[in-house]
Chain A
């Protein structure tokens, strides 16, 4: 029970911070509140449960919202209080009727940020889901189902997508193995004559062609993450992403980023780049892509394909020795 009131204490602190940052542009304010909320969550993990004194000390260490606002270059404004009142009134109105939202003009801008629509993220990769929820101004708590590897997707969420909840409240996610629902099909390794043999092993590792595709990857350490080496020390050339448009409509692929399945850094950040993008694929058309600079990838990579409308995740280990994978679009 006390955990609930502790949540309320934290949520009140974050409200005060948001109010102190009232003059900051919304994106900047949300970013700061989100980061400090993450900081508090990390710090709380080390605290004894239900210890209110410890929680208050923790918030003292984080500092006064006004000081943080000043450091951010936004002195708290004197007319803050009326805004808060206006926001509260607007929230009450929102709760009272569904059409009142129409009245929330720019004059009552704060009311729009008090309630947040929960994004629908079932089926999305956990990482994408978490950043989507946070970007919406909500907190997130993740429960991982037993036996899940490091590459997970969201199996269930609570509250459901579309629900309106207060900014800063938590969305609970149950995550599990991606393999259970992501549509991927494995095709045989290409013969040397075909174009997809652009997948290649690093110099001196020709024997990798005999290594079977691992079903699970060893976990990487932080060091591995930093240096972009996989645990075996083996490097592989950029994987080919083979795509077939199985839908009846043309699809434009705008970007392909590759994310290691332990999370980031996205190789999009590392800028291997896929040179031929964007490309529009006619119904039934196949295409394969490889990154333009041949940068070494860790073994367990998950390419994400961004079409003009949505992102798909291709969740398979992409070792040089593995068969290439074909992704089928079902819009």
Chain B
């Protein structure tokens, strides 16, 4: 078979894109872990299990794309908030630009081939 398994490809693409989705969610406002994960999970099929987002968040923090801090909450103990760093903002900007171009090109070829 010439083509790879489409399902596998989608899994890989999802994995790659999800980190940028996290960055994008943090662009509008800082979020605490649970809030962030639930917002991601609302997008259908993006996250298979909520717990797997935390290793990803750790990687983003280690690479300096997000930062964390504590803030008190109205209910219960303080929460660990995530915010986008300057590097994160830049990485997101670059991805968004490339993604938009990629998506447009693939779409136009896919749709052109259909007609």
Q: Which of A's residues lie within 8 Å of B, judged by CB?
A: 17, 28, 31-32, 35-36, 38-39, 41-43, 45, 61-65, 67-68, 71-73, 126-127, 130-131, 140-142, 150, 222-223, 225-226, 262-266, 269
The interface residues of chain A, by DSSP majority, are classed as: helix
Produce 1/0 per residue, B74-88, CB < 8 A to A.
Answer: 011111110100000
Interface residues in B42-81 by Cβ distance below 8 A to A read: 48-52, 54-58, 67, 69-72, 75-81
CB-CB nearest in chain B for A142: B77
- Tell me how far the C-beta of A280 lies from the nearest C-beta in chain B, rounded to whole angstroms: 29
B29 with A223: CB separation less than 8 A: yes
**Could you count the A-B residue pairs with CB atoms below 8 Å apart for me: how many are there?**
102
Given the interface contacts A72-B55, A226-B29, A262-B72, does A39 sit within 8 Å of B50 by beta carbon?
yes
Interface size class of B (residues with CB under 8 A): 20 to 34
B58 with A225: CB separation less than 8 A: no
**Beyond the given A42-B34, A67-B51, A127-B70, could you list 7 further A-B residue pairs with CB under 8 A, ordered by the A residue number?**
A61-B41, A62-B51, A65-B51, A141-B77, A225-B30, A263-B71, A265-B69
- Tell me how far the C-beta of A268 lies from the nearest C-beta in chain B, rounded to whole angstroms: 10
B50 with A63: CB separation less than 8 A: yes
A67 with B77: CB separation less than 8 A: no
A39 with B37: CB separation less than 8 A: yes
Q: Which of B's residues lie within 8 Å of A, judged by CB?
A: 29-30, 32-34, 37, 41, 48-52, 54-58, 67, 69-72, 75-81, 83
Specify which of A28, A71, A263 is in contact with B72 (CB 8 Å cutoff). Answer: A263
B70 with A63: CB separation less than 8 A: no
**Measured CA separation A269–B52 after assembly (Å):** 27
- Tell me how far the C-beta of B42 lies from the nearest C-beta in chain A, rounded to whole angstroms: 12
**Measured CA separation A262–B74 after assembly (Å):** 10
B49 with A62: CB separation less than 8 A: yes
**Measured CA separation A127–B80 after assembly (Å):** 11
B49 with A35: CB separation less than 8 A: no
Given the interface contacts A38-B34, A71-B55, A222-B29, does A265 sit within 8 Å of B83 by beta carbon?
yes
